[in-house]
Amino acid sequence: MSKTSTIDGWTGTATVRAVLWGGLVAGLLDLGFASIYWRLHGVGPAGVLRGIATGLLGREAFRGGAWAASLGLALFWVIIGGAAIVYVLAARRLDLLRRRPVPCGLAFGALVNLFMTHVVVPLSAATPGSMPLSQRLVVLLGCAVCVGLPVALAVHRLGPAGERAVVDRVASRRHGWSEGT
């Protein structure tokens, strides 16, 4: 069985790599951003993770201790992984998402933030807090840069065109070819 998909040459390996690397980098950046942002507002990393757990546990998560923070961390990675999967699968069909990773990634990250804020949180057990517009814009920008951009760049780099470019570079080094030959 061939590993090549019928959609623009994507392989199962390229898809998984783009999801894993894009999701990993996005998750680490977003968790770092959230930790720094909320630390400036008096909330430590465990409090950030418990805040995520409120999506399932409601306000009780803030009294939950380490297990609630662990649940928040697990939920965080599920959300980031889901976002990465959505972008990678969309990029398999929409060439623009692969060709223009910076504007598309930034837009995707902003959309993830808006979706979480206006759809997921209201449907969850979390009690939405109020945040001034300036803070909402900082968080929106953080999500655009820390979530959307790394996933889009992973797709650009690890998708079919990026995969071929890496193979071509390795082959040219192995055979002593120059870039122009």
pLDDT tens, residue by residue, 32-65? 999 999 999 999 999 999 999 999 999 999 999 9
- Residue 180 in any domain: the answer is no
CA distance 130 to 136: 9
> What integer pLDDT is reported at residue 174 of this predicted model?
67
- Residue 64 in any domain: the answer is yes
- The tally of domains found in the chain comes to 1
Quick one: what percent of the chain has pLDDT higher than 90?
72
CA distance 57 to 18: 32
- Judged against a pLDDT cut of 80, whether residue 87 lies above it is answered with yes
Q: Percentage helix, strand, coil, to 5, in the chain?
A: 80, 0, 20
- Residue 1 in any domain: the answer is no
Report the mean per-residue pLDDT for the chain.
87
- Judged against a pLDDT cut of 50, whether residue 5 lies above it is answered with no
Domain that holds residue 161: 12-175
- 173: phi then psi, degrees, rounded to nearest 5: -70, -40
> What integer pLDDT is reported at residue 22 of this predicted model?
96
Look at residues 110, 139, 150, 141 and name the one whose alpha carbon lies nearest to residue 38: 139
- Residue 3 in any domain: the answer is no
SS3 of 160, please? helix
Give pLDDT tens digits for 132-165.
999 999 999 999 999 999 999 999 998 876 555 5
Give pLDDT tens digits for 11-34.
788 889 999 999 999 999 999 999
- 11: phi then psi, degrees, rounded to nearest 5: -100, 160
